[in-house]
Structure 1
Amino acid sequence: MSDDGLIVPEDEYGRIRVFALDMPPERADFLREPGAADQVLGLAGLDPTQIDVIRVADLEELGLTGYLTEGCGLSKEQIAPDRAMLEALDGYVLVLRSRAFKGAAAVLAPEPDVRLIATYDEPSPDWRAQPLRSDSAAPYSAPRLSPRAARAQARRIGGSLFAAVIVVIALVLWWGVF
């Protein structure tokens, strides 16, 4: 778990914070409403689509660790040190993704019944790739038409479009007569 779990730097990307909710089930269920989680976290303007309020019992055999690894894509190695603590949680948890802050810096001031349990980093995609080495990948590698062939092709396309429009007009007029 990170020590700076309650300070969110500007443009933070790829972090997941897990909070335990020590509150009655009715109040925890209410946190699923837009803006309700903002109140208990002490910060307005969070994106509600990036906040999950989960009843741990609803996860059944998947469990909270399975939700974090399989549902959120976190690595099992990253969860391993906190596995026993996560499996011991019951009641409700709140999972908060960095995208909820919309790139703005923030300082969370959660209510006493909202405890930060852990902060994890989502795996980043591997953008490395081998450069393309193909003649067809080179710029301007497509065969060029001669000017005469390009004009002939343009005339064929234009003539086809003109014929299609004339047929449509004729059908509309014929349909109007009958």
Structure 2
Amino acid sequence: MSDLTVAPHEHGVVRLFALDMRPEEAKFLREPGAIDQLLGVAGLDPEQIDIFPVSDLEDLGLFGYLNEGCGISEDQLDRDALQAIDGWVMVLRSAAFGGHAATLNPDPKLRLIGLYTEDATSWSGGVIETDSAKPFSAPQGSTEGIGQPHRIGSAILALVILLAVGGALWLIL
């Protein structure tokens, strides 16, 4: 599989493209369907595509954007090569493909810089061996009084209703 082939249900992959075009052309790529045409695919989710000039990143830089913003590990990134990139770039996340397979046929104005994978969260863990983690280890409280009406609250409510009815009758008579 090449860097321009998207597997079905691909997840956590980020493709970085340099845009060899004028700023006006790059800004136009934010319009619906424009990226689809330049990549030769249809139905991309524009929310999963970032297009911006590298200068907008200021001190963070492209290295920081990919590392801190996209969750790409430092060992995948070449800091010097990323610092050398200027102009406009496009960051294309695999979520843009909506779980569908695709083969990208990019326009010559798009140059693939790299393909990176986001750090995955490890959801595995060891066995918890504390007493509180054992089933039914919570203290068993008393169930006395559960489900029985609170007689004081009911009595006060009845008294308020009687006073309201008595007051209404007094006004009428």
Number of equivalences = 163
Q: Match of 2:124?
A: 128
Instruction: Give structure 1 regions of 4+ aligned residues with deviation exceeding 4 angstroms.
Output: none
Higher helix share: 1
Unaligned 5+ residue runs, structure 2?
A: 169-173
Question: Is structure 2 residue 92 aligned with structure 1 residue 92?
Answer: no
Question: Is structure 2 residue 50 aligned with structure 1 residue 52?
Answer: yes
What CA distance in whole angstroms lies between the structure 1 residues aligned with 2:101 and 2:43? 12
Q: Report SS of the residue matched to 1:13.
A: coil
Q: Match of 2:150?
A: 159
What's the RMSD between the two structures over aligned residues? 2.8
What CA distance in whole angstroms lies between the structure 1 residues aligned with 2:106 and 2:9? 21
TM-score for both structures, normalised by structure 2: 0.79
What CA distance in whole angstroms lies between the structure 2 residues aligned with 1:153 and 1:59? 60
Unaligned 5+ residue runs, structure 1?
A: none
Q: 1:144 to 1:38 in 2, by over 3 A?
A: same
- 1:88-139 residue CA offsets vs partner (Å, 9 max, x unmatched): 2221100011111121111111111111111011111122322121222222
Could you tell me which of 5, 27, 30 is aligned with 1:29? 27
Highest CA radius of gyration, 1 or 2? 2
Q: What amino acid is the match of 2:41?
A: L
Q: What amino acid is the match of 1:21?
A: L
Could you tell me which of 68, 71, 82 is aligned with 1:70? 68
- 1:8-28 residue CA offsets vs partner (Å, 9 max, x unmatched): 011111111001111121121
Q: Percent identity?
A: 50
Q: Per-residue deviation at 1:141?
A: 2.6
What CA distance in whole angstroms lies between the structure 2 residues aligned with 1:107 and 1:53? 20
Deviates more, 1:125-134 or 1:112-121: 125-134
What CA distance in whole angstroms lies between the structure 1 residues aligned with 2:28 and 2:60? 24
Q: What amino acid is the match of 2:26?
A: A
Q: Per-residue deviation at 1:76?
A: 2.0
- 1:50-86 residue CA offsets vs partner (Å, 9 max, x unmatched): 1110101112232212211122122222112xx3332
Deviates more, 1:101-110 or 1:134-143: 134-143
